[in-house]
A and B are shown apart, each in its own frame.
Chain A
Amino acid sequence: MDEEYTSEYGPRWSDQRVERMLGVLVCTVVGLLLAMIVVVLIKAWPSFAHNGLAWFGPGGNVDDQLNAIFLSGQAGAEYVYTFHAWPLIWSTLLITGGAVFIALFSALFVAVFIVEFAPEWMSNVLQPVVRFLASVPSVIYGLLGVLVLVPFIGNHLVTEPQKASVAGVISLTGYSLLAATTVLTVMIAPLMVSIFSDGLRAVKPGWLEGSLALGVNRWRTTWKIAVRTARPAIVAGTVLAVARAIGEAVMLAMISGSVGFAPNPADGFIFIYEPSRPLAPTIVKNIDQLSSPPANATLFAIAAVLLVSAAFLSLTGWVARRSMRKYGAA
């Protein structure tokens, strides 16, 4: 661009220079992400190297292992790295899976309701409600869980015989899978609703009118045409919600029970009252152990697992959306 046209800002703000400055900034952010992945993996390496695939397997008490790892770093003796994370992984899978499963169904119904079926006043109420629920800080959900839901489950839902039946293994106090899954569902469902309803609104009206003109009622039209067309948005919303659920640390640290215990569905129905601790809260709970080198490596190994799952989720979502794009909207 000629410099005479840039007189307002002078050559300092010429187009090339601005483009280069912005480009440098963008590269910095991209580089930061790459650096993060590399740093986390390097820091995590000792823990993975010592355990191999057994890192992901069961064996022993996780809390004892974490404690031994921490102490070995302090004494200056030989570092201990033995760590079998299965109870933590299993807890993550159960809580995330349960919450995402419930949230997916309820969010889909609520999004359809907001976009298609709710009367004007109702959707005008629901939209701010959804936005509000999505913006409540996780620590407030955690606080309400600890002070309201957990005592309720402990005092009213779990019966004395049930407590006695597993008394030798674990104590049922209300800090449970049930509490964690319920609160997590309330946290992630609003996220899903807002993305789903954006997707449903983007469906071309002509397609819906075509279906209605053929005599299909509005309910079926919505589910067969609108929801199907909005599938990329549904995948995107679900991926984001799963990522949020896996990474949720503080709320789950407060109400999951913080015990390295793998709830056992073989115990029967009461396994939903059993406490556990997912991966992310484990980092929060042991954060003051970062100064001990082996504990540091172990915590970074957990972070690496979370990071890789997040990246894998992004990739899955991208692939799924790409293959669905041929269906039109979004």
Chain B
Amino acid sequence: MDASVATPPAAPPPASAPQRPAKGAVEGSATWRLSDRIGLAICWALGLLFCAIAVAITVYLFIQGIKFLKPSMLVTPAAAGFSQTETGGFSDALVGTLILAVMGISLALPTGVAIAVWLVEYGRPTALARITESTIEAIAGIPSIVLALFGTVIFSSTALGFLSRSNEGVVFGRSFFAAAAMLSLVALPLIVASTREGLNSIPPHVREASYTVGKTKAATTRRILLPASRPQVATGAMLGLGRIIGDTAIIVVLLGATQNFAPVEDVPFPLNFLRGAGTTLTNFVYEASPTGNLNQPQKAYAAAFVLLLMVLALNGAVDVVHRRARKVGTWSS
């Protein structure tokens, strides 16, 4: 997109556009020079290597996970102890991941969709639209550890003390609120990009039809455009969710690096946990790895297995959404 952010995008090319030549229909590699055939062999080798790496990671983690994961680990919180049998499980980490996923995505999704709608449907003044595009792109490139450090500054300010634990005027600045806010920034660029793609794929005549019957732009967006781009919004949300549950740097810095929930006293139920420190599966794997503070590789494998299952489920969900969207079909012009 360049200057034409404000205007509706051009219609996609008609279905009769020239098709790319079918694979293998043109010629085999038998007539090629040796150097070209070596190149093709490298392609095959690297393609198979990618598959092998993916299979190795999955199979290895499944084997280790099934070997070390006991159902009791999912319901017992971590405890202090000397051997791996005494230290409990990682229920707090599991619940922490789920809490953060919900909080992060419920911050990022409305914001991301709103920004995308503004960029595609309004986008005036053009300069601000350009700046916003660059901002979103820049946020995608910022290391999450830098976001985390920035988070410690804003959430340690006295004005935001109500979002975390404070002690005699000193604000701790580490809480589920803090981590979720920064994690939503990680998910934001994915949601914006995906939603924009969806809105841009809707041909202008759909909008024009809606305006003609007297709908406002806001009503058109709410009733026509957003429902029509639901698959892309869902895809963006799930990609963002994957980034949120997979991020570790922000958790280590902004969630307090504890092993259990550390609720704040004298606060009503959900808030005391959300204002307190906690842990997630990624943080647990980090701490339980040989380089972390706990050094319990077996539990690290078990937690990593659970985390991998979540990621696989999200990937599968993205696939399903894609296939559904393709079945419904695209706009005809």
Q: Is the CB of A140 within 8 A of B307?
A: yes
Would you give the 0/1 interface string for A22-62, flagging 1 where the beta carbon is closer than 8 Å to chain B?
Answer: 11011101101100100110010000000000000000000
Q: Is B117 an interface residue (CB 8 A)?
A: yes
Q: Which residues of B contact A153 (CB under 8 A)?
A: none
A125's partner among B36, B51, B53, B315 (CB-CB below 8 A) is B51
B142's partner among A39, A116, A132, A310 (CB-CB below 8 A) is A310
**Which residues 6-20 of B sit at the A interface, judged by CB distance below 8 A?**
18-20
**Which residues 127-160 of B sit at the A interface, judged by CB distance below 8 A?**
128, 131-132, 134-147, 149-150, 152-154
Q: Is A176 an interface residue (CB 8 A)?
A: no
B291's partner among A110, A248, A258 (CB-CB below 8 A) is A258
Name the residue in B21, B143, B300 with the highest tally of chain A Cβ atoms < 10 Å from its Cβ.
B143
Q: Is the CB of B146 within 8 A of A303?
A: yes
Q: How many A-B residue pairs have CB under 8 A?
A: 270
Q: Is the CB of B152 within 8 A of A290?
A: yes
Report the bound CA distance from A184 to B32 in whole Å.
35
**Which residues 216-256 of A sit at the B interface, judged by CB distance below 8 A?**
217-220, 223, 239-240, 243, 246-250, 253-255
Write the chain A residue with the least CB distance to B24. Answer: A119
Report the bound CA distance from A318 to B286 in whole Å.
35
Q: Is B72 an interface residue (CB 8 A)?
A: no
Write the chain B residue with the least CB distance to A322. Answer: B2
Contacts known (A140-B304, A249-B145, A254-B289); A29 close to B36, Cβ less than 8 A: no
Q: Which residues of A contact B40 (CB under 8 A)?
A: 117, 219
Q: Which residues of B contact A220 (CB under 8 A)?
A: 36
Q: Which residues of A contact B252 (CB under 8 A)?
A: 250, 284, 287
Write the chain A residue with the least CB distance to B316. Answer: A128
Q: Is the CB of A217 within 8 A of B31?
A: yes
Q: Is B73 an interface residue (CB 8 A)?
A: no
Q: Is the CB of B138 within 8 A of A113?
A: no
Q: Is B237 an interface residue (CB 8 A)?
A: no
A135's partner among B128, B218, B311 (CB-CB below 8 A) is B311
Classify the secondary structure of A's interface with B. helix
Contacts known (A132-B315, A146-B290, A283-B145); A120 close to B23, Cβ less than 8 A: yes
**Which residues 277-291 of A sit at the B interface, judged by CB distance below 8 A?**
280, 283-284, 287-288, 290
Write the chain A residue with the least CB distance to B131. Answer: A30
Would you give the 0/1 interface string for B213-251, flagging 1 where the beta carbon is closer than 8 Å to chain A?
Answer: 011111100100000000000000001001001111100
A15 to chain B, nearest CB (A): 5
Write the chain B residue with the least CB distance to A5. Answer: B214
Q: Is the CB of A118 within 8 A of B141?
A: no
B24 to chain A, nearest CB (A): 7
Report the bound CA distance from A19 to B154 in whole Å.
28
A193 to chain B, nearest CB (A): 8
Name the residue in A6, A23, A33, A299 with the highest tally of chain B Cβ atoms < 10 Å from its Cβ.
A33
Q: Which residues of A contact B49 (CB under 8 A)?
A: 106
Would you give the 0/1 interface string for B109-122, flagging 1 where the beta carbon is closer than 8 Å to chain A?
Answer: 00100110111001
A228 to chain B, nearest CB (A): 16
Enumerate chain A interface residues (CB-CB to B < 8 A).
1, 5-6, 8-9, 13-15, 18-19, 22-23, 25-27, 29-30, 32-33, 36, 39-40, 43, 106, 109-110, 112-114, 116-120, 122, 125-126, 128-133, 135-140, 142-144, 146-148, 186, 189-190, 193, 205-206, 208-209, 212, 217-220, 223, 239-240, 243, 246-250, 253-255, 258, 280, 283-284, 287-288, 290, 299-300, 303, 306-307, 310-311, 313-314, 318
Enumerate chain B interface residues (CB-CB to A < 8 A).
18-21, 23-24, 26-27, 29, 31-32, 36, 39-40, 42-44, 46-47, 49-51, 53-54, 57-58, 60-61, 111, 114-115, 117-119, 122, 124, 128, 131-132, 134-147, 149-150, 152-154, 185, 188, 214-219, 222, 239, 242, 245-249, 252-253, 257, 282, 285-286, 289-291, 297, 300-301, 304, 307-308, 311-312, 314-315, 318-319
Smallest CB-CB A-B distances: 9 pairs: A247-B143, A137-B246, A113-B43, A22-B118, A243-B141, A250-B248, A219-B36, A18-B218, A205-B20
